[in-house]
Structure 1
Amino acid sequence: MVRLGNLVNAEGRAARAAIVDYGYRTGLLSGLAPEPRERQGAWLTPRRLAILKLIAQGQPDRKIATAVGCAPKAVTTAVHHILRNLRAEDRAHAVALDHQQGLLTQPLVPLPEHRPRRVFSALEAQLVEALAAGQTKLQIRTSQGLSAKTVSRLLTGAAAAAGVRPRRGYAALVDSAYRGRLLTARAVDRASAPCLPERQHQVLIGIAHGWSDEQIAHRLGLSTATVKTAARLLYGTLDVATRAQAVARGWDLRLLGAPRPATRATARPGAPSRAAA
């Protein structure tokens, strides 16, 4: 067991689950007869699914609590629920059932599927880049010397080009711009990149969808206050000030997926346009 624990870089009780996970991922346990499938039901909340994935990584309860953003006692309670509902004997058995039922490949919150409809006009691109840099609408008006009505009209047009609704914060607009390569993520040294806890990562994905705090809370099975706290911590972790800037930073850190191939969207007739730099 010690040698196997060294193989998965885990020790103690946590190592058993990680060893089983390693066996399934490498195909060593693929010949085992699958056990009867249990109904997933409402018990498989996003938090419990996140805990399942961390258990499979060989993380102890203390580190799981830090990653998920809850107390160690809450992790213990969640594990009891998981074992009972999976009808698993222990954590290692739960990981085996997870692989058989495909739970470990199930996303907590899927990445957005925004698809740009056309490239931005030159002025729309300037405003979207300003949003990605963390500027508010008021700051954009001041720096660009535009009226509030003009800024709103341009951002509404940019949202239409990005194929999203012009929701508060314009996070979905920025996400679609990166996803369709209308904006290009910066190269970031991953070694010095901040470690984003699982809950904050899920909140970031919800922000990229353009969801409100209430919508994110409903999706993750959390209270709105908890989501607001996670968002505030997310801003601190990423060193950003706005939802749009958080999404841009998430793309820099490769937290929101990979961009699609260059969009085939066409420019608006009669308007200047530019592709991603």
Structure 2
Amino acid sequence: MKNQIVSVALVAATSVLLTGCLEPSARSMGATLMPAPLTHRAPADTASEMSLTATGFWGHTDDAYNVSNLDAGGGSLGLTYRWSGKMAPFFLNAAVGGFGGSLKFSCDDEYGCDKGSTFDKKYISWLETEEGREQYSFWNIQERILVGADVSTSSVIIGMGAGLQFFQGASDHDDIRSALDDVEWVDDIDGKNDFGFMTAWWFGFNFGQNASNGNIVLEYDILHKGGMDDWTSSLKLTYAHPTGFFVGGANNSLMEWTVYAGKNFVF
């Protein structure tokens, strides 16, 4: 009997070491990757330039990452400086945006909520209460700074970037997450204000001579915050026209599906 108790204790301790916490994960919506896609210039454009990108978006989550019935909308502005000559592939991007919406809390076994676990019983029972079934509002402000290299040939676009993403929020959703964390029913990874290291990777194609018919790019972003199991990601697919207009969609960790559109202005 004593050996069985020791074995159970060792398994529980190992789980804590590997996962960092036995409670379901709760995230700020600000920890989703900014929906603003990076823009890419035509192969022949190698002079230094400054561009301003305006993006509007709408997002929805059916049931993922311990939230459900999420609907949100917002927008962002991004400023990008690109160098010239041999430094032409390199750029510096700064973006700021805001969005808001509403959601419900839920239980997702991919993010630490196990309906058959005794550890999660109190949180799952709370979900069945009037407070647990309620729709909660949220809003967040986000900022991003990113440096990277973007190589554009006659047919292919490839590149990567790295930087920081910041977020701030103060809403009903933030307050409930904090309260559930205080009683140790969930692990509130982000709090109301935080930041994380992020990376961006992309691959795409130019269409027509010197991208005269635009380009289409697949971009994969990661917010490296918390343990590896807690990192959030976004996979964006964007078509951009030479006039600067663009449209696209994304699959994200927190906002499951996002559609966006905008305009890039070059100075």
Give the TM-score, by structure 1 length: 0.24
Structure with the higher helix share, 1 or 2: 1
TM-score by length of 2: 0.25
